[in-house]
Amino acid sequence: MTGAGISTESGIPDYRSEKVGLYARTDRRPIQHGDFVRSAPVRQRYWARNFVGWPQFSSHQPNPAHWALSNWERLGKLHWLVTQNVDALHTKAGSQRLTELHGCMHRVLCLDCGEQTPRGVLQERFQVLNPTWSAEAHGLAPDGDVFLTEEEVQSFQVPSCSRCGGPLKPDVVFFGDTVKPDKVDFVHKRVKEADSLLVVGSSLQVYSGYRFILTAREKKLPIVILNIGPTRSDDLASLKLDSRCGELLPLIDPR
């Protein structure tokens, strides 16, 4: 199971790292699901910021930690990979036995009809609707969001679903929303089939990931945690390693 800490070495900031995470550096907090669904101005602000941040966010590439896990899968040593990240870096590294627990920013969903489209296609629609719009980004967030002023946001035009005209949302679980039960059940099954659980780059503060630790403990599976700084499950780990993911994982010989 991987968290934001595996992607920081690819240049994507995280929320919780001591002194350097977004929570430590700013008073900004990620968008709430209820606000996004209920409010057109909230969606306008979100998409304006996301439009500006997308070229940089989508250009990030896997680092040695992502490649190591993909390689383990190729060798038959990784039964399943669950990521809490929405950055598609595991997919870019070639991982296929993969569940994106919180979805992926590279897909867009219509809230009314459920139609899925690639995020790159939406970027082109934004550009057509906003040919002269420009804004200066003030720092990137872990989900590809950037910080803009209210003046910059107000003139931004947001397209609707091309099939039904409904509002569009990235195919990710925002804070305040929940992971679909069938996806949770699927991951619980994969954990129960495994012979150990490795956590990479997650503080396990969010229950959506922490619950799989509880399942592993129930099955008496060895739990290993690789993370800089303390996690919610340090006391349940057979082994805790305080190191950068991209430096340590490639050193492990899975054979």
Q: How many CA atoms lie less than 13 Å away from 151 in the CB half-sphere?
A: 2
Ligand-binding site membership of 195 (annotated): no
**71 in a labelled binding site:** no
Distance separating alpha carbons of residues 1 and 98, to the nearest angstrom: 10
Contact present, 1 and 225 (Cβ < 8 Å): no
Establish whether 210 is an annotated binding residue.
Answer: no
What is the spatial distance between Cα 195 and Cα 224, in angstroms, rounded to a whole number?
Answer: 12
Q: Does 128 carry a binding-site annotation?
A: no
Six token digits for residue 229: 């700084």
d(CA 244, CA 201): 8
Is 20 part of any known ligand binding site?
A: yes
Pull the structure tokens for residue 77.
């040593």
46 marked as binding residue: no
Residue 201 assigned ligand-binding role: yes
All residues at 6 or more sequence positions from 178 whose CB lies less than 8 Å from its CB, including other chains:
208
Tokens describing residue 11: 């240049």
113 labelled ligand-binding: yes
| 102 is a catalytic site residue | yes
| 213 labelled binding-site residue | no
Q: Which of 60, 79, 90, 102 is catalytic?
A: 102
84 is in an annotated binding site: yes
Does 164 carry a binding-site annotation? yes
Tell me if 115 is assigned to a ligand binding site: no
| Ligand-binding site membership of 165 (annotated) | no
Residue ranges of the binding site for Zn(2+): 110, 113, 161, 164
Binding site residues for NAD(+), as ranges? 3-23, 84-87, 201-203, 227-229, 245
**Catalytic residue numbers?**
102
Binding residues: 3-23, 84-87, 110, 113, 161, 164, 201-203, 227-229, 245
